[in-house]
Chain A
């Protein structure tokens, strides 16, 4: 749908492109790029290319990578199922205390992840508020399992998705929803048939951000899930452990994580995100 507004904004972008970037913005922008890219470039320079193949063929590494990708994907799935409706509530309803609610659900963004891990213990651990009764009744303990990894990653990563989707919902044109409502659609139908397709690029962007954050999660995972090969030792934990004894292999492992992250971001960007 090419509205006059969208056409105008595209025309403005083209004009900006023609006149170039003002120096007052260019210099800080270049410094910003340098600051963000230089450490990664330094990592690439130090990669032990000759031994890279044998390092990456180690079963422990492949195991950690598989666990990381699987748990980050599961965490993203849970975040989508719970986070999109949550974002809708934050963006579309007028519940009292909504500002407080938004602050509460985004606390994991600013909370040190290690503190998040301890908080998860206090809630879901064997002696936790919920985990305690669960353990007493069924003998099921969540910490130190792959489930704990997924939960820790979800706790830390879901707010990224909620914020992205909420932003997309606020930016979306409400008139389509109003029209649907006028035509007799109830709110659930409107959400499913009108709102969701409208904000899908925002949801995809949020999901990618969420996945990337989950993939790199360290603090909450090592605290709440511990670290054991195959069940809870994800790539970031493997990198940290390798750093203790063998910095070379830690660098190689970091490269893998870097390549997987960038590859996924590029792939998804081509698929979905260009539309935003």
Chain B
């Protein structure tokens, strides 16, 4: 009995942690009869919510196809692909990571930039520390989170601080944009730099503050079918679907800029 109660406890915690509702789905695109099987999409962590929603629409339009996602930091995904992970599509949060896969021979076609993302200051709901701009990140008394410079959101953060001529005093350098968001949502940091899309995904628990330097660090998101894709037809259909007008509307609603 104890094993079962342990499992139940773990399950309950898991549900608590992942519990965000899925929206309703409306069918729109005409079904393509020739597509079937599973399409495996490796996508940047910042695409988690919007791709999950688009995946449901895609499956409704193509009942024979199941979309499976692997969301993680773009550099982790690029590594996994280069190690031979059986993926069909790579949607990266940075051209550098797509290039890493191209260099290893993992992408034959041209990758297309399908969305852009910019940074925003993220604070917990109500902004308890009264953060107003980038200059607050030099205040050592505040608890601040940034992405590590090794990952795309961190590289963008470094750029905006350089442009602003500021030296930030972060307390933690996180490994991806979602980890930063989690810490703001929990109210454990006073402010962080995250993607505008993550601020929207954070809902009521976080607030976003614009700052002018964000225009200097725009992240391009390339998407491409992989050379070794086990299901190239469905992969191409997904890449096309993501760039269709209805999908672009969903992406724009999630806070992405469209090229």
Tally of chain A residues near chain B (CB < 8 A):
34
Shortest distance between the CB of B78 and any CB in chain A (Å):
9
Report yes or no: B188 in contact with A143, Cβ–Cβ below 8 A: yes
Taking a contact as CB atoms under 8 Å apart, the answer to whether B186 and A121 are in contact is: yes
Binds B, one of A6-14, A21-29, A172-180, A240-248: A240-248
Chain A residue, CB-CB nearest to B152: A244
B9 contacts A by Cβ under 8 Å: yes
Question: In residues 132-160 of chain A, which contact B (Cβ within 8 Å)?
Answer: 141, 143-144
- B191 / chain A contacts, CB cutoff of 8 Å: none
Give Cα A103 to B10, complex, Å.
Answer: 12
Instruction: Let me know if B175 and A241 touch, CB within 8 A.
Output: yes
For window 196-226 of chain A, which residues contact chain B by CB distance below 8 Å? 222-223, 225-226
Q: Select which of A115, A119, A143, A222 is within 8 A of B175 by beta carbon.
A: A222
| Per-position 1/0 for B57-97, Cβ under 8 A of A | 00000000000000001011001000000000000000000
Q: Quick check: B6 and A107 within 8 Å, CB to CB? A: yes
Query: Chain A's nearest CB lies how many Å from the CB of B148?
Result: 6
Q: How far is the CB of B79 from chain A (nearest CB, A)?
A: 7
Q: Is B145 an interface residue (CB 8 A)?
A: yes
State A126–B187 Cα separation when bound (angstroms). Answer: 7
Q: Mark A99-135, 1 if CB is under 8 A from B, else 0.
A: 1101100010011100100110110011100000000
Identify which of A100, A118, A226, A247 gathers the most chain B CB atoms within 10 Å of its CB: A226
Q: Quick one: which of A107, A110, A122, A245 contacts B75, CB cutoff 8 A?
A: A245
Chain A residue with the shortest CB-CB distance to B180: A226
Tell me which of A107, A119, A228 has the highest count of chain B C-beta atoms within 10 A of its own C-beta.
A228
> Can you sample 15 A-B contacts with CB below 8 Å?
A100-B5, A107-B6, A107-B10, A110-B10, A115-B14, A118-B17, A119-B13, A144-B172, A223-B182, A226-B145, A226-B172, A229-B173, A240-B175, A241-B175, A245-B75
Interface of B toward A, CB cutoff 8 Å: 2, 5-6, 9-10, 13-14, 17, 73, 75-76, 79, 143, 145, 148, 150-151, 170-175, 179, 182-183, 186-189
The 6 tightest CB contacts between A and B, nearest first, are: A226-B172, A103-B2, A244-B75, A244-B150, A144-B171, A127-B187
